[in-house]
Amino acid sequence: MAASVADKRARFRKLHEAGCFIIPNPWDVGSARVLQALGFQALATTSSGFAWSQGGLDNEMSLEGMLAHFAELSAAVDLPINADFENGFGDAPEEVAANVTRALATGVAGLSIEDQAHDAAKSLYDEALAVARIRAARAAIDADGTGAVLVGRAEGRLGDRAPLAAVLDRLVKLAEAGADCLYAPGLRTKDEIAKAVKAVAPKPLNVLVSTPGFSRAELADLGVRRISVGGGLARVAWGAMIKTARALAADGSFEGFAGAATGADMQGLLGS
């Protein structure tokens, strides 16, 4: 019997209470089912990975397309799905609340809201508006009554646009506004991560890892509760395909197939 939405949300909340788990990011049904077969406890969508799979660009997919993607992945696996909901597809708090309500109807177990706009400059919202947007998302989740997890994202460390102290202060305010889990992509050092863990405690911190460097054990020792990989797995897949296809186009070399998954592997994983 397929897991219910309520069961997925209860399991997802439990995962955030203790320990440190990796929540990888599939970009379609096939990658989601493979990750489930490999034993992960929860999955998160990736706005970039999904956009690339559709021939589009990150932050340029439509709300309707994203909602359909959430529903498709939620129905395809028995694992909790955390939705990368970008900026909530609206600037005003009331827009965010309305769209969060629609996202919850897709069956996701949680969702994240960024503090940057979808304008050309990807401008950060001022603090008061960023906090009001999270408060609105919290109210929408509470009204839904099924316990979905709200992740508050502070984007200021991406491209070093904001000092660490300012980003940590924003994370604290997003936590106070009702975010269950906090997330600041772009934290690069153990010291930055440790400071972020301390700032938001006792609430859990999500850390993005999409390049070599840290291990799960190292991040767990710092107090990190949750690790996501963003578009990292999608970039691995695209990287292998592009490298192999370039060799095919350039000199007809088929050497890139040496590292490919076998048909038996794929049949086994997707049939499990």
Instruction: Give the Cα separation of 101 and 70 in Å (integer).
Output: 13
Residue in the structure block whose two tokens are 């938001």: 200
Task: Give 164's Cβ-side CA count (13 Å radius).
Answer: 13
What does pLDDT average to over the chain? 96
Max CA separation in the chain (angstroms): 60
Each residue of 135-188: pLDDT tens digit? 999 999 999 998 999 999 999 998 778 999 999 999 999 999 999 999 999 999
pLDDT value at 202 more than 70: yes
Does the pLDDT of residue 1 top 70, yes or no? no
Percentage of the chain modeled with pLDDT above 90: 91
Give me the pLDDT at residue 160, please: 74
> What are the structural domains of the chain?
5-209+218-231 (3.20.20.60)
pTM for this structure?
0.94
- Cβ distance 47 to 230 under 8 Å? no
- Residue 235 CA from chain centroid, whole number: 15
Least confident of 6-10, 40-44, 120-124: 120-124
| Tally of CB atoms within 10 A around 126 | 10
> Secondary structure of 61-118 in the HEC alphabet?
CCHHHHHHHHHHHHHHCCCCEEEECCCCCCCCHHHHHHHHHHHHCCCCCEEEECCECC
